[in-house]
Structure 1
Amino acid sequence: MFNRRQFIQAGGMALAAGQGLGCAGASAQSGQLPITVSSYLLDRTQALFDGSVAIGGTDAEFVQGAIGDMNTAAFTGTGRNEISELGLHPFMLAHANEGFRDYALLPVFLLRQFRHKSVFVRTGAGIQTPQDLAGKRIGTAGYSSTSLTWIRGIFEEEYGLRPQNVEWVISNADSSAAVAGAASAQESQIPADIIVTQGKPGLDESELLLSGEVDALFHAATPAAFVDGDTRIARLFPDFRSVEQAYFEKTGVFPIMHVLAIRRDTAAEHPWLAKAVFDAYAEAKFKAYRTKDRLTWATDMLPWYSQELDNTRLLMGRNFYPYGIEPNRTTLETLFRYSHEQGLADRLLTVEETFLPESLEFTEVTQP
């Protein structure tokens, strides 16, 4: 009997035809529910992709996707994946502004990033502090993406820089598109009360900065020119680690970028599935923790990785990437507030309406 992963690797329908057995038939005989999961391959999902952790009761196919493409597929109805990784803020906008209800969120937070590191300036532009950005031109590839919504909210709340205090320039190309996919419509929404222009055709965000068309960049991915070592680009916060740690100590917020979602019709038809998915993702994450503890000397090239892991746990706890609602409620409600205050979400969303109701009580059983 082939499971779904073996079925695909061995030749899919051609093999099934030779055996006289399609995928649905195989699943029916094995009693496993066939599902497709679209997600990034990450350290915390590795065990799911390689099959060492399974979603109980399912025959799951894991498909790697880019976030922009996964968003678009879900929100346009063209994606039929039972489980999908989605951008948190694009989901919020689809839910609040477009009546999108095909999917509900699960409290599995697959990608989190502090965002002070994501602000870049043109050297020589006289920008040393967030307040120096007032009156400047800031380039970005997607105004309403999750990362940009976080940065604007943090900069307004922590430094008094409102989105209306700057001119926004939207680049026509994105140097990270190969990894992130094409921006979804929900990542490109513009509120009515800001100044916004389009960048020169064909120039990505870092090229806008190098050409002098903008003074700074807000961008989720590290701009290509910075990666290449171009000295005309610098981070606004050179010691971003200290700044981000101080932000966490002050607020308790660890910004969420991507979240897992389940089709509502699938969840209704198979009410056990959501918890099985949550438990499997938690188990895969804890397996990744154990790998970090025991094998970092073999799996990571950074010479002081173990020290960084120890320092992170001292600040944020052993389970520094928590799943479940309550450890993340403050972070979620902060982004909900930022979105509404920035004129993006039509109303202030709540945790209870965006997450699958039964998942509000899900908690991680394993501990690191």
Structure 2
Amino acid sequence: MDRRLFLQTLAAGLYAPTLASAQSGELPITVSSYLLDRTQALFDGSVAIEGTDAEFVQGAIGDMNTAAFSGTGGNEITELGLHPFMLAHANEGFRDYALLPIFLLRQFRHKSVFVRAGAGIEKPQDLVGKRIGTAGYSSTSLTWIRGIFEEEYGLRPQDVEWMISNADSSAAVAGAVSAQESQIPAGITVTQGKPGLDESELLLSGEVDALFHAATPAAFVEGDTRIARLFPDFRSVEQAYFEKTGVFPIMHVLAIRRDTAAEHPWLAKAVFDAYSEAKFKAYRTKDRLTWATDMLPWYSQELDNTRQLMGRNFYPYGIEPNRTTLETLFRYSYEQGLADRLLTVEETFLPESLEFTEATER
């Protein structure tokens, strides 16, 4: 059963019986995003964006990026990669959309570094002089990993050779790599991988020594023992990183067309409130039922441990709980020679959304 069908089936017992547009208002809008636990209630209509008749459509992030930044994106609300948006804003004068402080996908990224087993690469410093493969150099995840590795371990982007794969094993989920995910700065060494080989095949063939990739490489998922994580106990490493920095890396963010926001000044807050409510509804489901519907045997313990470290609202929306994380990525992008200038929160987010805050409990 694919993920969409599974969630529709689950929704029959937990939410509304069918996926439907919200029929609670008058303004027709289209929202493009992934169907996730934190957006499920919006897709199935059990949470509505007040004042709208919203149609929710699923998209892949690379395709959503390209549609927005090419000027062909007609959706009033869309999910975007945070760093591709930054590059379009800073380097291309892109102003069609403004960000809303709704952060739909976050991941710690120490888990996203893979090496050839037995190659003698046991710590980040061992990567000096090695060749690293990736599907998109300037993607959000890669920008985070490079920044973290330089700041925490002293490994600079110019200390390694980069190889761009000609295929991506996660393309079916992520979509085609957008132009903003393929920018190469001056001062680093970059080569192209062999045609037809995805990133994990480059590693297995010996073309590269390591992988930096947002998605788990296909060969690793299939259990190929020739690929290993650089950080086998990545959970402990990532938790220590959060305790030290307070940074929970942001990958995807929601954006609104500037012309739509100007014409309907109430809409941005209505969207924020609806997405926040949908997320809190997902929290409640995790407390009530996910321990049973999820196959992980210690799911409840993991949820408890996460809240002990990161708080009950461990996936916060709004600017102030996320300012440090946002400004860290802005700095990484500029320091890595990707963004032409150091961006600010105030210029990239819709001005009125800077003050949006969530209720502590719902």
Whether these two folds match at TM > 0.5 is yes
| SS across alignment from 1:330 | helix
| SS across alignment from 2:18 | helix
Residues of 2 paired with 1:92 and 1:336: CA distance? Answer: 8
Residues of 1 paired with 2:226 and 2:7: CA distance? Answer: 48
* Structure-2 change in CA distance of 1:35 and 1:133 (3 Å): same
Residues of 2 paired with 1:65 and 1:273: CA distance? Answer: 22
| SS across alignment from 2:158 | helix
| SS across alignment from 2:215 | coil
Is residue 3–residue 59 contact of structure 1 (8 Å, CA) maintained in 2?
A: no
Unaligned runs of 5+ in 1: none
| SS across alignment from 1:6 | helix
Shift of 1:6: 18
Residues of 2 paired with 1:317 and 1:363: CA distance? Answer: 16
Q: 1:200 aligns with which of 191, 194, 197?
A: 194
Kindly indicate whether residue 48 of structure 2 is the aligned counterpart of residue 54 of structure 1.
yes
Is residue 4–residue 59 contact of structure 1 (8 Å, CA) maintained in 2?
A: no
Shift of 1:110: 0.1
Shift of 1:162: 0.0
Shift of 1:296: 1.8
Residues of 2 paired with 1:158 and 1:346: CA distance? Answer: 24
Is residue 104–residue 262 contact of structure 1 (8 Å, CA) maintained in 2?
A: yes
Is residue 129–residue 161 contact of structure 2 (8 Å, CA) maintained in 1?
A: yes
| SS across alignment from 1:30 | coil
Greater shift, 246-255 or 30-39, is seen at: 30-39
| SS across alignment from 2:54 | strand
Shift of 1:26: 15
Equivalenced residues, count: 361
Structure 1 equivalent of residue 326 of structure 2:
332
* Structure-2 change in CA distance of 1:3 and 1:62 (3 Å): farther
Shift of 1:192: 1.0
Structure 1 equivalent of residue 3 of structure 2:
4
* Structure-2 change in CA distance of 1:327 and 1:79 (3 Å): same
Is residue 22–residue 55 contact of structure 2 (8 Å, CA) maintained in 1?
A: no
Residues of 1 paired with 2:29 and 2:82: CA distance? Answer: 22
Listed one character per residue, the Cα deviations across residues 81-124 of structure 1 (whole Å, up to 9, x for unaligned) are 00000000000000000000000000000000000000000012
Residues of 2 paired with 1:95 and 1:163: CA distance? Answer: 23
* Structure-2 change in CA distance of 1:26 and 1:164 (3 Å): closer
Residues of 2 paired with 1:316 and 1:155: CA distance? Answer: 22
Listed one character per residue, the Cα deviations across residues 169-211 of structure 1 (whole Å, up to 9, x for unaligned) are 0000000000000000000000011000000000000000000
| SS across alignment from 2:45 | coil
| SS across alignment from 1:258 | strand
Is residue 5–residue 60 contact of structure 1 (8 Å, CA) maintained in 2?
A: no
Residues of 1 paired with 2:10 and 2:310: CA distance? Answer: 49
- Segments ≥4 residues shifted beyond 4 Å: 2-9, 14-18, 21-31
Residues of 1 paired with 2:41 and 2:244: CA distance? Answer: 34
Unaligned runs of 5+ in 2: none
Shift of 1:79: 1.1
TM-score (norm 1): 0.92
Is residue 141–residue 205 contact of structure 1 (8 Å, CA) maintained in 2?
A: yes
Is residue 114–residue 244 contact of structure 1 (8 Å, CA) maintained in 2?
A: yes
Is residue 106–residue 262 contact of structure 1 (8 Å, CA) maintained in 2?
A: yes
Residues of 2 paired with 1:101 and 1:295: CA distance? Answer: 42
RMSD of Structure 2 on Structure 1 (CA): 5.3
Shift of 1:28: 15
Is residue 22–residue 45 contact of structure 2 (8 Å, CA) maintained in 1?
A: no
* Structure-2 change in CA distance of 1:290 and 1:24 (3 Å): closer
Shift of 1:365: 2.1
* Structure-2 change in CA distance of 1:147 and 1:114 (3 Å): same
Residues of 1 paired with 2:294 and 2:11: CA distance? Answer: 40
Residues of 2 paired with 1:24 and 1:33: CA distance? Answer: 22
Residues of 2 paired with 1:45 and 1:54: CA distance? Answer: 11
* Structure-2 change in CA distance of 1:27 and 1:123 (3 Å): closer
